């Protein structure tokens, strides 16, 4: 993986004013991917948007880590259902026309 597509966990935590343990919990819970490069924990760029959303849930709404895991699970199920509905609608259009 190219290092240009990574941000260190420490840099993210300083910028967003969150504890390192919070990001560590999210990684251990499987909510985000964290990779090790030269003994430094790094976050892939494509994970940043999801991580920022989880940080906002934690900071703005004062939701604890287990609550964030539950909300993330529900949001993922909702997204999956929306994709399934989109597929079913496109299949239904075949029979309408």
Reported as a single tens digit per residue, the pLDDT across 4-63 is 789 999 999 999 999 999 999 999 999 999 999 999 999 999 999 999 999 999 999 999
pTM for this predicted structure? 0.79
- Could you tell me the two tokens for 92? 């239904």
pLDDT of residue 96: 82
| Strand intervals (E) in the chain | 6-8, 35-37, 40-44
Q: Is the dihedral of CA 54, 57, 60, 64 positive or negative?
A: negative
Residue 1 has pLDDT above 90, yes or no: no
The top-level CATH class assigned to 3-96 is mainly alpha
Query: Which DSSP category does 3 fall into?
Result: G
- Could you tell me the two tokens for 20? 């390192």
């Amino acid at each position: 993986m190219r290092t240009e597509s990574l941000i260190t966990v420490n840099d993210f935590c300083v910028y967003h004013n969150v504890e390192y343990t919070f990001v560590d919990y999210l990684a251990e819970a499987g909510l985000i991917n964290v990779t090790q490069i030269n003994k430094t924990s790094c976050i892939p760029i494509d994970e940043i948007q999801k991580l920022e959303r989880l940080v906002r849930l934690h900071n703005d709404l004062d939701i604890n880590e287990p609550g964030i895991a539950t909300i993330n699970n529900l949001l993922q199920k909702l997204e999956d259902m929306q994709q399934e509905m989109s597929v079913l609608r496109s299949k239904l259009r075949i029979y309408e026309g």
